[in-house]
Chain A
Amino acid sequence: MNILQKSRAKSPWILHYDAGACNGCDIEILACLTPVYDIERFGMVNVGNPKHADVLLVTGTCNKRSARVLKNLYDQMPDPKVVVAVGACALSGGIFHECYNVLQGVDGTVPVDVYVPGCAARPEAIMEGVMMALEKMNQR
Chain B
Amino acid sequence: MSNRTVIPFGPQHPVLPEPIQLKLELQDETVVSAIPHIGYVHRGIEKAAERMEYTQNVFLVERVCGICSFIHALCYCQAIEQLQNIEASPRAKYLRVIWSELHRLHSHHLWLGLFADAFGYESLFMQFWRNREMLMDIFDKTAGSRVIISTCAIGGTRRDISDVHLQEILDTLDEVEKQLDKTLPVILNDYTVKKRTVGIGKITREQALELGAAGPVLRANGVAQDMRQLGYAAYGELGFEPVTENDGDCYARAKVRARECYQSVELVRKAIRQLPDGEILTKPKGRPKGQVISRVEQPRGELLYFLSADGTNRLDRLRIRTPTFANVPPLVAMLPGCELADVPVIVLSIDPCISCTER
Contacts and interface: CB of A to CB of B under 8 A. Distances in A.
Given A18-B41, A20-B43, A99-B47, A27 B67 contact: yes
A23 B130 contact: no
B353 interface: yes
A122 B146 contact: yes
Given A20-B40, A99-B48, A48 B65 contact: no
**Chain B interface residue number, banded:** 35 or more
Contacts of A25: 66, 147
A66 B66 contact: no
Interface stretch (B14-22, B25-33, B227-235, B304-312): B14-22
Contacts of B125: 34
Contacts of A26: 17-18, 66
B297 to A, nearest CB: 18
Nearest to B10: A69
Given A35-B129, A99-B47, A120-B148, A20 B64 contact: no
B90 interface: no
B147 to A, nearest CB: 4
B44 interface: yes
B322 interface: no
B221 interface: no
A27 B41 contact: no
B66 A27 contact: yes
A63 interface: yes
Contacts of B42: 20, 63, 65, 101
Interface of B: 11-14, 17-19, 39-45, 47-48, 51-52, 59-60, 63-67, 69, 110, 113, 125-126, 129-130, 132-133, 136, 145-148, 353, 355
A24 interface: yes
Contacts, number: 128
B43 A98 contact: no
B136 A31 contact: yes
28 contacts: A17-B19, A18-B17, A18-B41, A20-B41, A20-B42, A21-B66, A21-B355, A22-B64, A23-B353, A24-B66, A24-B148, A25-B66, A26-B18, A27-B17, A28-B147, A30-B110, A31-B133, A34-B129, A47-B14, A50-B12, A63-B41, A63-B42, A94-B63, A95-B63, A99-B44, A99-B45, A101-B42, A120-B145
B148 A100 contact: no
Contacts of A63: 39-43
B45 A28 contact: no
A26 to B, nearest CB: 5
Nearest to B59: A95
Contacts of B66: 21-27, 120
B63 A18 contact: no
A48 to B, nearest CB: 3
Given A36-B130, A63-B43, A95-B60, A27 B11 contact: no
B45 A66 contact: no
A22 to B, nearest CB: 4
**Most central of A50, A101, A102, A120 by chain B CB within 10 Å:** A101
A60 B147 contact: no
A35 B45 CA distance: 35
Interface in A1-50: 16-28, 30-31, 33-36, 47-48, 50
Shortest Cβ-Cβ A-B pairs, 6 listed: A24-B66, A48-B14, A34-B129, A23-B66, A99-B44, A120-B147
Given A27-B17, A34-B129, A35-B126, A120 B59 contact: no
A73 interface: yes
Contact of A98 (B17, B51, B59): B51
A132 interface: no
A100 B129 CA distance: 35
A102 B44 contact: yes
A30 B117 CA distance: 12
Contacts of A100: 44, 47-48
B40 A96 contact: no
B41 A24 contact: no
B69 A69 contact: no
Given A23-B355, A30-B17, A119-B63, 11 more contacts: A18-B17, A21-B355, A34-B126, A35-B126, A61-B43, A63-B39, A63-B41, A65-B39, A95-B63, A101-B42, A120-B145
